[in-house]
């Protein structure tokens, strides 16, 4: 019998092994892993365009929300037609047509050394800043700007928070703030999404009379003259609140949209 077995091919010898033998167990395990990984990677590749599309749609939904134009169940693409996406050259504070505002990806540009600058002074902890920023405008029937929506991002405690701030046409009074992406802790830092906290933002003034950024997210009760610039820090989430304070002040300050807001007000953007 051993002689007969020696004449068999390796495959026939393998087939002759009992089903619970080590080689067969390993083969089944490896085949199963390969099969599953093919299914998972195939699904990931196939779903990628849908995921990208959903990300774009979610961003549009957030812009509509911060603009106060979002209605549950409404067609987002249709509603977004009321929004005018524009590009702003952050350094000059002027509109730019260097790229297509509808398709420009500020997040990708911030990673591209040709399209971004490395920050030495970096209070929002973002490392690099895209030279062009995507902003959004709402206009009335006469073509006058009714709202300015600016993108913001910066580090909280665990993650980079991405969001928008909406301002009145004076470029000073806040009408809303909303984050659409972060990984802060639910119940703590993630309370930035709590409507009660978000409702503290409308009506606050970004700049003081001297034109300096005065808006602050901080603990404690502010003095009467500071109240119009003050948003209470989140209880139990001082570090995320500090991150929001840093990122809002960064993006509305000299390194952010301050020059653009001044130009816009002066009709020179
Ligand atoms: C598991 C865990 C998750 C936390 N997540 C956050 C967070 O997302 N944001 C934050 O500011 N603090 C978070 N903290 C709390 C901070 O460590 C710190 O205590 C807090 O920011 C201080 O805020 P307070 O001075 O208002 O208490 C977390 C703490 C723990 C233990």
Ligand 1 within 6 A of 192 CB?
no
Specify the residue for token string 């393998």: 14
Q: Considering only CA atoms, which residue is closest to atom 20 of ligand 1?
A: 237
Q: Beginning with the edge strand found earlier in the chain, give each strand of the sheet holding 160-167 in spatial order.
A: 94-96, 83-89, 132-139, 145-155, 160-167, 174-181
Ligand 1 centroid – CA 241 distance (Å): 10
Torsion of CA 255, 179, 128, 185, to 10 degrees: 120
Ligand 1 within 6 A of 188 CB?
yes
Ligand 1 centroid – CA 129 distance (Å): 27
For the whole model, what pTM was predicted?
A: 0.85
Residue 268 vs residue 141, higher pLDDT:
141
Highest mean pLDDT among 16-25, 43-52, 207-216: 207-216
Query: To which H or E segment does residue 232 belong?
Result: strand 230-232
Q: How far apart are CA 255 and CA 125, in angstroms?
A: 13
Ligand 1 centroid – CA 218 distance (Å): 15
DSSP structure string for 18-45? -TTSHHHHHHHHHHHHHHHHHHHHHHHH
What residue segments make up the domains of the chain, in order of their start?
52-265
Q: How confident is the model at residue 5 (pLDDT cuts 50, 70, 90)?
A: low
Q: How far apart are CA 191 and CA 178, in angstroms?
A: 11
Q: How far apart are CA 129 and CA 117, in angstroms?
A: 5
Q: How far apart are CA 229 and CA 223, in angstroms?
A: 10
Q: Considering only CA atoms, which residue is closest to atom 2 of ligand 1?
A: 185
Ligand 1 within 6 A of 236 CB?
yes
Ligand 1 within 6 A of 185 CB?
yes
Residue 55 vs residue 207, higher pLDDT:
207
Q: How far apart are CA 168 and CA 183, in angstroms?
A: 29
Contact status, residue 136 vs residue 95, Cβ threshold 8 Å:
no
Ligand 1 within 6 A of 191 CB?
no
Q: How far apart are CA 110 and CA 117, in angstroms?
A: 8
Ligand 1 within 6 A of 218 CB?
no
Quick one: average pLDDT of 197-212?
A: 96
- Quick one: pLDDT at residue 229? 97
What is the best residue among 188, 240, 245 to mutate for testing ligand 1's pocket, by most ligand atoms within 8 Å of CB?
188
Q: How far apart are CA 85 and CA 105, in angstroms?
A: 12
DSSP structure string for 90-118? TTTTEEE-SS-TTT--HHHHHH-TTTEEE
């Amino acid at each position: 019998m051993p002689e007969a077995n020696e004449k068999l091919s390796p495959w026939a010898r393998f087939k002759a092994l009992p089903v619970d033998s080590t080689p067969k167990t390993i083969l089944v395990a490896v085949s199963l892993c390969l099969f599953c990984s093919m299914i998972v990677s195939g699904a990931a590749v196939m779903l990628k365009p849908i995921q990208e599309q959903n990300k774009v749609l979610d961003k549009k939904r957030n812009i509509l929300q911060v603009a106060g134009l979002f209605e549950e169940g409404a067609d987002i693409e249709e509603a977004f037609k009321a929004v005018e996406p524009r590009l702003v050259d952050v350094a000059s504070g002027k509109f730019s047509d260097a790229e297509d505002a509808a398709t420009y990806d500020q997040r990708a540009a911030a990673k591209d050394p040709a399209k971004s600058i490395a920050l030495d002074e970096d209070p929002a902890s973002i490392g690099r800043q895209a030279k062009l920023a995507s902003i959004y405008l709402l206009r009335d029937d006469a073509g006058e700007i009714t709202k300015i929506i600016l993108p913001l991002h910066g580090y909280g405690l665990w993650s980079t928070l991405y969001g928008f701030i909406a301002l009145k046409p004076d470029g000073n009074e806040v009408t809303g703030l909303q984050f659409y992406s972060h990984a802060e802790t639910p119940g703590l830092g993630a309370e930035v999404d709590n409507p009660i906290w978000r409702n503290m933002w409308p009506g606050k003034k970004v700049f003081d009379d001297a034109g300096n950024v005065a808006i602050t997210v901080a603990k404690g009760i502010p003095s009467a003259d500071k109240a119009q610039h003050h948003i209470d820090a989140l209880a139990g989430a001082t570090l995320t609140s500090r991150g929001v304070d840093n990122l809002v002040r960064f993006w509305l300050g000299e390194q952010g949209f301050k020059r653009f807001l001044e130009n816009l007000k002066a009709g020179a953007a």
